[in-house]
Structure 1
Amino acid sequence: MPFNRVYIDNEPTRAEVDAMPGPLVIEFGTAWCGHCQAAEPALRAALARHPAVDHLRIEDGAGRALGRSFKVKLWPTFVFLAKGGEVARLVRPTEQEPIDDALALLAPEDNP
């Protein structure tokens, strides 16, 4: 799945996320967040090399159940899931390498 540009505000439930079978990156943030905007190019480039990894971009904020269930405190927070289990997490990444490393844990067969 390609990079999703739009943050969705109709988030799935935690049970729905936990039941997703394939590799998944959930990005918690908002469109107006400067840290989120700064991390976008690195995430976009990294996801382009891992087409088997799904990407959900969730608009987070007070009272948002999914973000609270993952204990999100800062934006952006990237949660890397495989078979419903968290395998990595990045908070406010500033470089592409940590994103690439986390994606490699999800989809090692995609690595060049």
Structure 2
Amino acid sequence: MSGQRTVTVHTLDHGPVTLTCPTWCTGEHEQGGYRADIEHIGPARLCTWRGYDIAIAELAQAPYGTLSHIRASVDIGDMSKALEPDELRQLGAELIRYASELHALAAQLTDLRTRGGTR
């Protein structure tokens, strides 16, 4: 996303909270929780294989949370499946491809932290 945007999130403990979104934020914020739970979330980088969600990674920041610095949020799926050799090779190839996305996300995170945090 480009340009500076603000968003107002309605919270249980602080009422409406207006904050500036970092440029990488998708602009979607959950309403009605606590201020400490407000999170900026970047675009999802999804690894799927044959209809299974294997992993998802995205930039995240909870500006009022305990860990207020920008980080990468990663969720590894729970696929449990017996695989034939060809399927195992295909899954391995997808994981290798996804690893390059994780390296790119790590580079982006490093760059954002080097430049001061939230841009």
Quick one: higher RCO (CA 8 Å, sep 6+), 1 or 2?
Answer: 1
Common fold: TM-score over 0.5: no
Higher-helix-fraction structure: 1
Q: Over alpha carbons, which structure has the higher Rg?
A: 2
